[in-house]
Every structure is written in structure tokens, then in C-alpha cells.
Amino acid sequence: MTDKSFRLEVLTPQGPVLSAETTAVTAPGGLGYLGILRNHAPMVSTLGPGRIVYRDPAGGMHQLINEAGGLLEVRDNEVTILADRVGSSDPGRRD
């Protein structure tokens, strides 16, 4: 882990979708999009449908599509997303 990275976990009822190191996450919160960086304050938020965008430590951008609702938790430099349904918009990625 770099000094700017943190852990991102995306889970659905069908099982884990993603486990990755990231330097930034943007997710569709219940009241608007949330931007999360390392050392973010602990929080829990509802999720709405929309794009979950994350940046890998090498600077590459990736995104998933949250197709329904869910929850997001930030704690101890880890973001956990519990989503009802997630699809990928990254070419070549298999979910």
C-alpha cells in the first residue's frame, strides 16, 4: 500500500465483486456523489444507482455501475460497498 492508497471492497448478495487498492473513490450517495480519499473520516451512507469510479495506485481510472441501492462504509482506510447489483463498464472486465 502506498502512502496515498487505501482498500476498496465491493460486495453483492452473490459474493465479492472487487477487492483492490485505490487512491480515490467516487460513489453515488443517497444525497449526491461522495468523494473519498485516504484518511477520510469514518462514515456510513446509503447508495443510489450510478457509477462507482476508483483510481488505482498507478493512476488508471476504473468504474462499476451500481444498478440498485446499497450501503457504503468508510473506516480505518477501507471503503466497503454493499450493493444489491453491480455491473462493469470496464472493457474486458468480467463480473
pLDDT at residue 40, rounded to an integer: 98
Q: Residue 58 pairs with which residues in a beta bridge? A: none
Residue 93 lies in a domain: no
Residue 82: give the domain boundaries: 6-88
d(CA 35, CA 14) in angstroms, rounded, equals 26
Q: In this structure, how many other beta carbons lie within 10 angstroms of the beta carbon of residue 4?
A: 13
Which distant-in-sequence residues (6+ apart) come within 8 Å of 2 by Cβ?
A: 21, 23, 57
pLDDT in tens, 61-85: 999 999 999 999 999 999 999 999 9
The number of folded domains in the chain is 1
Average pLDDT value for residue range 83-88: 90
Instruction: Please tell me the number of Cα atoms within 13 Å of 36 on its side-chain side.
Output: 32
Q: Looking at residue 95, what is its pLDDT?
A: 41
Give the per-residue pLDDT at 3.
87
CATH of residue 31: 2.60.15.10
pTM for this predicted structure: 0.88
The answer as to whether 1 is a domain residue is no
Residue 82 falls within a domain, yes or no?
yes
Instruction: Give 9's pLDDT tier (boundaries 50, 70, 90).
Output: very high
The model's pLDDT over 12-43, given as tens digits with 9 standing for 90+, comes to 999 999 999 999 999 999 899 999 999 999 99
Is the residue at 40 inside a domain? yes
In a domain, 95, yes or no: no
- 79 within a domain of the structure (yes/no): yes
C-alpha radius of gyration, the chain, whole number: 12
